[in-house]
Amino acid sequence: MSAPAALPLRHTLLALAVVAVWGSNFVVIKLGLAQLPPLLFAALRFALAAFPLALFMPRPPVRWRNLAAYGLAIGLGTFGLLFLAMTRHISPGLASLVIQAQVFFTIGLVMWQAGERPRPFQAVAMAVAAAGMGLIIARTEGDTTAPGVALVLLAALCWALGNLASRAAGPVNALAYVAWSSLFAAPPLLGLSLWLEGAPRIGAALASADAAAWAAVLWQALGNTIFGYGAWAWLMARHPAASIAPFALLVPVTGIGASAWLLGEALPGWKLAAAALVLAGLALNVLWPRVAARWRRGV
């Protein structure tokens, strides 16, 4: 098998732009949560992700239950729990890091479905990343709490369940899939918002929300979802996954950097060490097969 061809410069820049959007998105979430209740914020995000795209794009050729599974896992599970955690339980930089546990949850679930056991490099990668997560949990204080880390880990598990649903859907139009599945995310999020956050709080938040709050909602729907997922799907359709997937390792890097730069999130040594461990585990899991293949070829 030949090594993946080098990406054209403009495709590399597009991938980096997606990574920058996805990483900085955690800062945008924090800014939006300053004015909007978390479940309402999530409901608005998926409502705008569904409309107007779902009116103009045909429903992807998958079963309704698959769309529902993805919408509920990603909308209600991943972003509902993530937004709840980021209200006061975890900093944006660490949230962008801990959510990457979805990689290992996805691998574990796929292997469980197939009855496979982790390969040695995968076990080592998970152990290294788990050491980083353990350091975060051991040092929870101030803007990050143990319940916050637990909520984001549950959000990561829901992301993995969403990955299984999208995997079962096959090669469909990514934007149409996200838009139509969002139809199943927005209503339960709104219902939970009415139940748990209450109509008076929702009304007050909507009445007092300024341009920055609505810009955060639009950034979630248009920047993070439509541009991010659309551009990523476009790149994945034109290049081997091994050429594109490693760029995702930069998401927590940009997330931590944006949080430190824009929100003044502190970066003590333990936090940098935890980030290094998690990123090393992710990198080992993604890059080791390519490195091993090159060694076998004597390249």
Q: In this model, does residue 14 exceed pLDDT 50?
A: yes
How does pLDDT run across 49-106, given as a tens digit for each residue? 898 888 889 999 999 999 999 999 999 999 999 999 999 889 888 898 888 888 778 8
User: Which residue ranges make up each domain of the chain?
Assistant: 9-297
Least confident of 27-41, 55-69, 106-120: 106-120
Q: pTM of the predicted model, to two decimals?
A: 0.84
Return the axis-axis angle of helices 146-169 and 64-71, rounded to nearest 10°. Answer: 160
Q: In this model, does residue 1 exceed pLDDT 60?
A: no
How does pLDDT run across 151-207, given as a tens digit for each residue? 999 999 998 899 888 888 888 888 898 899 999 999 999 999 999 999 999 999 999
- How far is residue 162 from each of residues 68, 103, 118, 206, measured CA to CA in Å? 10, 12, 21, 30
